Structure 1
């Protein structure tokens, strides 16, 4: 249980950090390029969302492989764990995106 909670928490915060960090750097870069930072930040957050999830769950096909191989042999516990890890990563990326939307007041 401890492994599950720590891995789920790390997935959440990695995805959250990818979205927040990428958006902040896009905002800084847009200032140097004389573009509106709020628009660049929100656009970047929306585009980074899926990549934040991929980065959080390991950046490879391994989680999908775990789901497929365990589902075929009837072991549902590892399948449920992997799906939960993906959901936690999605929640982190979504919360990061919503925080950027809140800070930029929906600039798009």
Structure 2
């Protein structure tokens, strides 16, 4: 159980970090190219969210195969755990996106 909880936390923070890091670096790149960083950061946040989730859970189709094979064989516990990994990664990516929107909110409204 401890390993499962650890993996949930890791997936959450990896997805969160990918979104936040990509947006911050996009903002730096925008400043260097004399563009408005808030718009680029918001654009990247929306586009990278799904990729952050995919990267956090393994980056391949294998996590989906785990769900399929275990579910079809009647082993619901491993399939349910894998689904929770996806939910955890989605939550991390979504919270990262919300944080970027919150940070950029004042810049876009001006």
Q: Quick check: TM above 0.5?
A: yes
In the alignment, the residues of structure 1 paired with residue 62 and residue 3 of structure 2 have an alpha-carbon distance, to the nearest angstrom, of 18
Alpha-carbon RMSD across the aligned residues, in angstroms, is 1.2
- The alignment's TM-score, normalised by the length of structure 1, stands at 0.97
* Dislocated runs of 4+, deviation >6 Å: none
Match of 1:22 in 2: 22
Deviations 1:5-38 (A, max 9, x none): 0000000000000000000000000011111001
Deviation, structure 1 residue 95: 0.1
How many residues align? The count is 108
The 5-angstrom pairing of residues 3-42 of structure 1 reads: 3-42=3-42
SS of the residue corresponding to residue 105 of structure 1 reads: helix
* Structure 2: stretches of 5+ with no match in the other structure: none
In the alignment, the residues of structure 2 paired with residue 97 and residue 4 of structure 1 have an alpha-carbon distance, to the nearest angstrom, of 25
Alignment of 1:46 onto 2:42 = no
* Structure 1: stretches of 5+ with no match in the other structure: none
Deviation, structure 1 residue 46: 0.8
Alignment of 1:71 onto 2:71 = yes
In the alignment, the residues of structure 2 paired with residue 2 and residue 63 of structure 1 have an alpha-carbon distance, to the nearest angstrom, of 20
In the alignment, the residues of structure 2 paired with residue 66 and residue 3 of structure 1 have an alpha-carbon distance, to the nearest angstrom, of 17
